[in-house]
């Protein structure tokens, strides 16, 4: 089914798809530098609404290479109506279950344990309300203060035009969100996270959309630099094993607490695309 989109929805969808293209090209360029011919494989998918009617779809993109052990970059544009029970949990959907959602979601698990794993997601949703959400967070098995500082500095710069306290509020939001209560640890070294940036006027839509674009551009700017900084660094078998154990925390968070995972599964999304965030190898010991 081809969804009929209004101007805002089409603009958001086009941006997320263009960001996908640019990120995938940047990651493939890194693989070429490493002497690898790995490239993304794209799998389109369509979804049915909870009542069986068609409701949009997306494209799952996955690359398994020399530097990127497994990276998924997904885009989706879906619409329809939520299951009545699930609608009660979604901003603005309790009184009317109809919805629209478009966005990009990315998770990269790296071959070298010195290279940080990373997550980035930005999205635009419409129920009886309209809002943007998303963010990016760094997940190094072996943290380096320099990498953490550079990642946060670039996100701080992206947030700066939108107010003096925006970065700190979103940094704290990420700190609270990417927390694993049953382990009493954070998933990584943080980043930013925001949600329910409501578009109650055209001016607010333009502002929130601009912030979301700037977050995507910031990620595209900083993460490849961190990869190139660490990707040729030697590592030991013990460091690789530590990475596999650390990935267990990532799996636990995504399957137990992550809102995006829940949203995708509850709205009939493509299971392989939703779970592309899971690493190819992991260890619990």
Please give the helix or strand (H or E) that residue 226 lies within, else none.
Answer: helix 202-230
**92 band by pLDDT with thresholds 50, 70 and 90:** confident
**Whether 119 is catalytic:** yes
Query: Which of 119, 182, 186, 196 is flagged as catalytic?
Result: 119
**83 band by pLDDT with thresholds 50, 70 and 90:** confident
Look at residue 154 and give its three-state secondary structure. Answer: helix
Looking at residue 144, its pLDDT comes to 98
The answer on pLDDT for 1 being more than 60 is no
**13 band by pLDDT with thresholds 50, 70 and 90:** very high
Q: Note the pLDDT tens digit of each residue in 226-276.
A: 999 999 999 999 999 999 999 999 899 999 998 889 888 887 778 888 888
Q: Among 32-46, 74-88, 193-207, where is mean pLDDT lowest?
A: 74-88
Mean pLDDT in residue range 73-101: 87
The answer on pLDDT for 43 being more than 80 is yes
Enter the pTM of the model: 0.94
Bridge-based pairing of strands 117-126 and 98-110 is antiparallel
Looking at residue 150, its pLDDT comes to 98
Q: Note the pLDDT tens digit of each residue in 158-188.
A: 999 999 999 999 999 999 999 999 999 999 9
Place of tokens 């997940």: 139
**2 band by pLDDT with thresholds 50, 70 and 90:** low
Looking at residue 134, its pLDDT comes to 96
Mean pLDDT in residue range 100-105: 96
Mean pLDDT in residue range 132-136: 97
Structure-token pair, residue 182: 């049953």
Distance CA 110, CA 106 (A): 13
Is 3 exposed, middle or buried (CB count within 10 Å of its CB: 0-12, 13-18, 19+)? Answer: middle
Residue scoring higher pLDDT (94 or 144): 144
The answer on pLDDT for 123 being more than 80 is yes
> CB-side exposure of 180: number of CA atoms within 13 Å?
19
Query: Mean pLDDT across the chain, nearest whole number?
Result: 94
Could you tell me if 102 and 144 are in contact, meaning their C-beta atoms sit under 8 angstroms apart?
Answer: no
Look at residue 184 and give its three-state secondary structure. Answer: coil
Distance CA 55, CA 50 (A): 9
Looking at residue 263, its pLDDT comes to 82
Mean pLDDT in residue range 26-50: 95
Place of tokens 């460091």: 239
The answer on pLDDT for 211 being more than 60 is yes
Looking at residue 122, its pLDDT comes to 97
Looking at residue 64, its pLDDT comes to 98
The answer on pLDDT for 115 being more than 90 is yes
């Amino acid at each position: 089914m081809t969804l009929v989109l209004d101007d805002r929805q089409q603009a958001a969808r086009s941006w997320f798809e263009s960001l996908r293209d640019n990120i995938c090209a940047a990651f493939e360029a890194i693989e070429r530098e490493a002497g690898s011919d790995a490239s993304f494989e794209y799998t389109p998918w369509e979804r049915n609404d909870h009542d069986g009617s068609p409701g949009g779809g997306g494209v799952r993109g996955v690359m398994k290479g020399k530097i990127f052990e497994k990276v998924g970059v997904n885009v989706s544009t879906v619409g329809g109506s939520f299951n009545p029970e699930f609608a009660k949990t979604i901003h603005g959907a309790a009184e009317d279950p109809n919805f629209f959602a478009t966005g990009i979601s990315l998770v990269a698990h790296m071959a070298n344990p010195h290279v940080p794993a990373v997550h980035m997601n930005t999205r635009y949703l419409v129920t009886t309300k309209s809002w943007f959400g998303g963010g990016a967070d760094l997940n190094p098995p072996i943290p380096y203060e320099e990498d953490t500082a550079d990642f946060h500095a670039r996100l701080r710069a992206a947030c700066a035009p939108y107010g003096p306290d925006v970065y700190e509020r979103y940094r704290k939001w990420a700190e609270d969100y990417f927390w694993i209560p049953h382990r009493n640890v954070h998933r990584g070294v943080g980043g930013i996270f925001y949600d329910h940036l409501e578009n109650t006027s055209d001016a607010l839509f333009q502002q929130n959309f601009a912030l979301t674009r700037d977050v995507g551009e910031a990620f595209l700017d900083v993460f490849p630099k961190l990869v190139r900084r660490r990707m040729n660094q030697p590592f030991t078998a013990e460091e690789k094993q530590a990475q596999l154990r650390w990935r267990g925390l990532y799996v636990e968070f995504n399957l137990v607490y992550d809102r995006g995972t829940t949203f995708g599964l509850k709205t009939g999304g493509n299971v392989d695309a939703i779970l592309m965030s899971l690493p190819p190898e992991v260890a619990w010991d």
